Chain A
Amino acid sequence: MLRLIVRRTLLSVPLLFIVSTSTFVLVALIPGNIARTIVGSQATEQQYLSVRRSLGLNEPIYTRYWQWLERALHGNLGLSLYSQQPVTSLVDSRLATTLSLVVGATVVSALVGVAFGVSGALHPGAIDRVVDGVALLGLSIPSFFLGFVLVEWFAVHFRWFPASGYVAFGVSPADWLESLVLPVVTLSAGGVAVIAKQTRDAMRDVLERPFIRMLRATGIPRRSIIFKHALRSAAIPVVTIVGLVFVAVLGGSVVVESVFALPGLGSLAVQATTQSDLPLIQGIALYFTVIVIVVNLIVDLAYGFLDPQVRVE
C-alpha cells in the first residue's frame, strides 16, 4: 500500500510540472502587451513600467520561468497585482469554502447517484427510464440557471435557505450547513446523473456474473447479495467516475460560487480574471491542479482497497 502511494505521488510530479509550465507558457505566448492590458488605457507610463517590472517582463522568458519555478518550489507564488498580498495567503484563506462545497457536492452526487443507479439496475423498465431521463436532464441544465431557479423557489419564495453568502463552519456549524445546501444541490445535479448511469450499468454487469448466481444458490439473502457483494464489485468502476465527477465539480465551483456569492477559490479566480491578476490566477490554477492530484491519489487508494488484485501488484 505504501509503495502504491509513493509511486502514485511520484507519477503526479510531471503533471504538476506540465500545468505550471503550460500556464506560464500560455501567458508568455499570448500576443499583445500584457502589462498594457493589466494597467488599462488610463494608466501613467510609470504605472505601466512598474507592472512590467513586477511581472519580470524585462527579462527573457527562460529567466522568468526559472525564477518563477524556483520561488514556487519554495512555496512563494508571488504577490497579487491588485491587492499586493501574497498569492498563497489569499488562496489559503478561501480554500476551506471551496473544499466544503466541492467535497459536499461530490459526496451528495455519490450517495444519490448510487441510490438511483442501484434501483435502476434492480427495476428495469419504468424506474430505469426515469433514471435515463433524469440523467439527461441533470446534465443539460446549466448550473447557473438551476442555481437561480433554486434560489427563486427556496430562498425568495419559501425562504428556507439563504439566497447567497457563506458562514464558516467555525462560526456556526448550523448556518454553515444552511449556506451550503443550495450550492451543493446545484453543483450535484450533473454528478448525480453521471454516477447514477455508471452505477446502474456496473450493477447490471455484476449481477450477471457467475458469483452472484453462486451466492444466490447458496441461499444468501437478496439484501446481502445486492448491498454487500454486488455493490462492492460494482463500486470499482463507480469510484473512477466519482473521481472524474470531483474534477468536474471543482471546475463547476467557479460558476456556482459566483451564483451564490461564496467566497471561495472559484469566485477568487473569476475576480482575478476580470482584474487580469496573472500571478493570482496562475497560483489558483496550481492549487486546483494539486487538489486534482490529491483526489486522483485517493481514488487510486480506494481502488486498491476495493479491488484486491490491484493491491497485490
Chain B
Amino acid sequence: MNASVLLIADPPQGSSGLRASVQLLSRRPLAVCAVAFLAALALVSIAAPLFAPYNPEAQDLTRVLTGPTAHNLLGTDTLGRDVLSRLIYGGRRSLLSIVEGLVVVMAIGLPLGLVAGYVGGWADRVLSRLGEMVMAIPAIVLILVVLAAVPHNEDVAMFTFGVLGTPTVMRVVRAATLQVRKDLYIKAARVSGLTHLRIVTRHVLPRVMGPIIVQASLFSAYALLFETGIAYLGLTGNPEAPTWGGMIAEASTVIEQQSWLLFPPGILIALTILALGLLGNTVRDMAVLDEVAAKPRRTTTSSSTLTPVLIDHRDARPQPLIIVSDLEVVLRNRGGSIPLVDGVSFDILHGETVGLVGESGCGKSVTALALLRLLPNALETTRGRVVWGGRDVLSMPEGEFNDLRGSKFAYVSQDPQASLDPTFTVASQLIEAIRHHERVPRAAAKHRALELLRLVEFSEPQRVGSSRAHELSGGMAQRVAIALALSGHPDLLIADEPTTALDVTVQAEILALLRRLQAETRMSVLLITHNWGVVADICDRTLVMYAGQVVEESPVQTMFDVPLHPYTRGLLQSHPSLAVAHTHLKTIPGNVPSPGGWPDGCRFAPRCPHAIAKCRDEAIPLLMAQRDRATRCIRVNEILAEVEPA
C-alpha cells in the first residue's frame, strides 16, 4: 500500500508554483517592465553612492530652484540641493521600510494562515475572528499612537504597520491552504505518515506561493504609500535626510514659485506603487488563467460548411405562427468560432405544442435563446431567418424586437427560483411587467397581477404576491414565472426544460397547468425537454436534435410507434418509463460529441448500430420520409423494413 500511496503523494507539477510563475511572468511585457523597474530602483538605491551625482545634503544657495539643467538633471530644491541625488538616497529609506514591513507581515501572517488553513477548527475560528477585528481598526491612527510614544522612529512604525497588515496575508494564505488541503495527494501524504511540518513545507508551501507573491507585492505597494505618507507628515527621522515623502512636503512650501519640485518625487512614488500593483495583479491573473488553461479545451476553428438541404414539405400545412429556417449559432472565441446550432429549420402552428428533444449539449436551449435574441455574449446567430408575421425578426432593430418580447414571445426557464429577481417581491415584478405591456394605472395592474397568480392556481395570491423568490418552493416559483410569462398575452411560450429542476409530483402539476393554459389561451408552445414522458404528455409534434441539427421531425404518436432515426430509437429505448417490461434498459453507446468535435458525414454514425461506410462520407440532409415526417438518415428504408417485417 505504501508504495502506491507515496506515488500519489507526489504533488502535481506546481501549476501555481514559484518556477511556473516566473516562467509565465516572462510572457507578459508589462509585468517584465514592472519587475525590471523595481529591480533597477532597488539596485540604484542600494548602491546610491555610485549612482548619485552629488552629496544629497550638500547645499548650494547660489543655485536654488533651478529646474532641470545640465548640471542638475532634475533641478535643485530650496536649499540648492540636487533633486536627483536626494531621490536616489531617499529610495534607500523607503526600500528599507518596505522590507521591514514585509518581513514582519510575512513572519506573522504566513504561519498563522498556514495554521488556520491546515489545522482548521477552533484555531481557524479564533484567528479569523481576531483578524477581522484588526482589519476594522484604522491602521494609521494606531501607528500615530506608537509614533507619539516613540517619536521619529520609522522602524517601529513599519513594524507596527506590518503587524496590522497580517490579517490580510493570513486570510489569503488560509484560503489557499484550505484549497490545497482538500487535494488528494495531501491526504495521501498524511496517510503515509509524513509529519505535518514536512507536509506543510514540502507540499503546501510551494502550492500557496502564488497567492503569497501577490500579497507581498500588494503589501509592498501599501507599505510604500504609508511610508511616504508619514515621511510627508514629518513624523519620521532626521529632517535633513532625504525621503520621498519629505521632498514633497518641502516642494509644497514653494508651490507658488516653482511647482516642478513636486513632480520628480510624486511621479517616482506613483510609478513604484504602480509597478508593485501591476506585478501583484499579473501574478494573480496568471493564477486564474493557469487554472483555465489546465482544463483541456478544444479550439477547433474549422466550421463545417455543409449547406443543409431544405425540404419544403410545409406548403401543404396551414400558415404557421413562426418559421425558423437554416438557423446557425456559433460560439466565438479567440481561436475562431465553433458552431453550436447548425442549420436548424422548423415551424410552429397556431395553438400547437412542439417538443424539442435531445440529450444535453445538442443545441436545444441555444436554439430557444436565439429565437428570443437573448444569446449570451460569446454566442452569435450567424445565419438563418425567423419569420414571424411575414417579417424576419432576426434582422429587426433591437428596440423593435423588444416590443415583441413578452407580448408575442414569452419564456420560462429551467431554473425557476433563479429566474425571479431576488430583491423584489413577486407582485412588484408582475406589476412592472403588466404596466410595461398594457400601460395601465398601478391599481389596475395590481388587480391583474393577482388575477394572473390565481390563473396559475395560487389559492392565496395576496400572500404569494408579497413574497420574494427565496421564500417560494421550486414549483411555486415556476408558477410565478409562468404568470410573468403570461403577463403580456404571448402567442408563443418558449419553455426551456420547465420541469427538470422540480420534484416528480410538482412536475406533473406544472405540466397540467401548462396544458390547461395552452388550451384556454390557444397559445403555441415550444417545449424543450429531454424527458419523453413530458413529450407524450403535452406535445403535438416533436423535433429531435443531435449535435446541433434536427435529426427527426414527427407527430408525437407516430414517432413513439415507429421512430425513424436511429438516435430517436436509441433515446426511446433508453427511457425507463417507455421500456418494455423484463428487458434490459438499452443505452446508446458513447457520448454526444461536443461542439467543434462533430464528425463529418452523419454526426450520429460513430454511435449508430446501422451505420455503413456511406453514412460517414458526406453530410446527411433532412429527408422527407412520410407526408408529415422527416429524418436525417439515409438508411431510413432499411430501418423501416426491419421494424415492420410485414
Contacts and interface: CB of A to CB of B under 8 A. Distances in A.
Q: Do A and B bind each other?
A: yes
B440 interface: no
Nearest to A207: B377
Contacts of B369: 213
A156 B234 CA distance: 24
Contact of A270 (B137, B144, B221, B374): B144
Interface string B124-166: 0000000001001111111011111111000010001000000
B421, B432, B485 interface centre (most CB from chain A within 10 Å): B421
Interface in B587-608: none
Interface string A126-157: 00000000001101111111001101100010
Given A142-B270, A213-B413, A37 B150 contact: yes
A158 to B, nearest CB: 13
Interface in A166-180: none
Contacts of A163: 255
Contact of A140 (B273, B404, B488): B273
Interface in A210-226: 210-211, 213-222, 224
B150 A210 contact: no
A18, A19, A22 interface centre (most CB from chain B within 10 Å): A19
A108 interface: no
A137 B267 CA distance: 11
B411 interface: yes
Interface string B163-176: 00000000000000
B145 A285 contact: yes
A269 B273 contact: no
Interface string A185-218: 0000000000000000000000011110111111
Contacts of A215: 421
B178 interface: no
A34 B372 CA distance: 75
A27 B149 contact: yes
A308 interface: yes
A46 interface: no
A308 B256 contact: no
Given A217-B374, A229-B421, A278-B148, A149 B413 contact: no
B496 to A, nearest CB: 10
Given A219-B436, A247-B136, A136 B278 contact: yes
Contacts of B470: 308-309, 312
A73 interface: no
Interface stretch (B225-233, B450-458, B511-519, B626-634): B225-233
Contact of B277 (A140, A152, A277, A312): A140
Contacts of A307: 422-423
A30 interface: yes
B255 A151 contact: yes
A219 B402 contact: yes
B248 A15 contact: no
B420 A216 contact: no
A224 B411 CA distance: 19
B251 A218 contact: no
A214 B413 contact: yes
B148 A210 contact: no
Contact of B133 (A18, A26, A269, A285): A18
Given A140-B277, A144-B245, A214-B484, A281 B148 contact: yes
A304 B235 CA distance: 42
A60 interface: no
Given A136-B274, A152-B255, A30 B149 contact: yes
Q: DSSP class of B's interface residues: helix, strand, loop or mixed? A: helix
Interface string B272-298: 011001100100000000000000000
A14 B255 contact: no
Q: What is the interface residue range for chain A against chain B? A: 35 or more
Nearest to B373: A216
A218 B433 contact: yes
B487 interface: yes
Contacts of B488: 218-219
B485 to A, nearest CB: 7
Nearest to B437: A219
A110 interface: no
A218 B148 contact: no
Interface string A266-292: 000110111111100110110011001
Interface in B437-495: 437, 468-471, 481, 484-485, 487-488
B418 interface: yes
A109 interface: no
Contact of A214 (B148, B411, B424): B411
A232 interface: yes
Contacts of B432: 220, 224
B418 A210 contact: yes
A237 interface: no
B138 A156 contact: no
Interface stretch (A2-10, A62-70, A111-119, A251-259): A251-259
B468 A308 contact: yes
B315 to A, nearest CB: 32
B421 A251 contact: no
B273 A34 contact: no
Contact of A23 (B145, B372, B420): B145
A216 B424 contact: no
Contact of B270 (A141, A213, A269, A306): A141
A139 B405 CA distance: 43
Contacts of B415: 210
A254 B233 contact: yes
A233 interface: yes
Contacts of B410: 217-218
B357 interface: no
A250 interface: yes
A213 B374 contact: yes
A214 B484 CA distance: 9
B406 interface: yes
Given A217-B406, A220-B432, A229-B424, A285 B141 contact: yes
A292 B136 contact: yes
Interface in B198-235: 221, 225, 228-229, 232-235
B409 interface: yes
Interface string A8-47: 0000001100110011001100101010010000000000
B137 A292 contact: yes
A81 to B, nearest CB: 10
B221, B252, B369, B487 interface centre (most CB from chain A within 10 Å): B252
B262 interface: yes
B256, B376, B437 interface centre (most CB from chain A within 10 Å): B256
A137 B419 CA distance: 38
A88 B409 CA distance: 67
A149 B245 CA distance: 14
Contact of B150 (A32, A139, A214, A275): A32
A232 B468 CA distance: 14
A273 B259 contact: no
Given A140-B277, A288-B138, A30 B150 contact: yes
A296 interface: yes
A211 B484 CA distance: 12
Given A19-B137, A148-B248, A217 B277 contact: no
B149 A278 contact: yes
7 contacts: A142-B266, A148-B255, A156-B255, A218-B433, A229-B421, A251-B138, A273-B147
Interface of A: 14-15, 18-19, 22-23, 26-27, 30, 32, 34, 37, 124, 136-137, 139-145, 148-149, 151-152, 156, 163, 208-211, 213-222, 224, 229, 232-233, 247, 250-251, 254-255, 258-259, 269-270, 272-278, 281-282, 284-285, 288-289, 292-293, 296, 306-309, 312
Given A144-B249, A289-B138, 11 more contacts: A18-B133, A26-B142, A26-B146, A27-B149, A213-B411, A214-B419, A219-B402, A233-B423, A251-B138, A255-B229, A285-B142
In the A-B complex, the 10 residue pairs with the closest CB atoms: A219-B406, A145-B266, A217-B411, A219-B405, A140-B274, A214-B419, A210-B418, A140-B273, A218-B406, A251-B140
